[in-house]
Amino acid sequence: MGKSAIFLKEEYRRRMRQYGMTEEKIEETSRIFERNNKHIDVITFVIMLERSGLERRAITEFLKDVGIDDITIINIFGKVDLKKTELTGSKEISNVILEE
């Protein structure tokens, strides 16, 4: 099982306000945590923050502040991009084949 990043609900809400998230979006994201027994996988969490209007710079700062290192953050955003591509059904090239 992977590591967990833990933060207090009020700290989360305060930080999201600082980053410019609306109260409506803060409430919405907080309800998602509640529905999921206060746990969300990090990829879903980042996608949720992006959909709520946060820029990657702010998300990166938040993730660093809760103790996630730079390499892990880079990997998280790579997986976020991959998942978003899968969700949109993108027809971008995903394989390169070398034939004889």
Give the model confidence (pLDDT) of 75-86 as tens digits: 999 999 988 887
Number of Cβ atoms within 10 Å of the Cβ of 80? 20
Q: CA–CA distance from 100 to each of 18, 33, 94 (Å)?
A: 57, 52, 20
Residue 93 has pLDDT above 60, yes or no: no
Residue 88 has pLDDT above 90, yes or no: no
Q: CA–CA distance from 77 to each of 1, 44, 70 (Å)?
A: 20, 11, 11
Alpha-carbon distance 15 to 44, whole Å? 18
Running DSSP on this structure, what letter comes out for residue 92? S
- Convert the pLDDT of each residue in 14-72 to its tens digit: 999 999 999 999 999 999 988 988 889 999 999 999 999 999 999 999 999 989 999 99
pLDDT of residue 7: 86
Domain ranges of the chain: 9-80
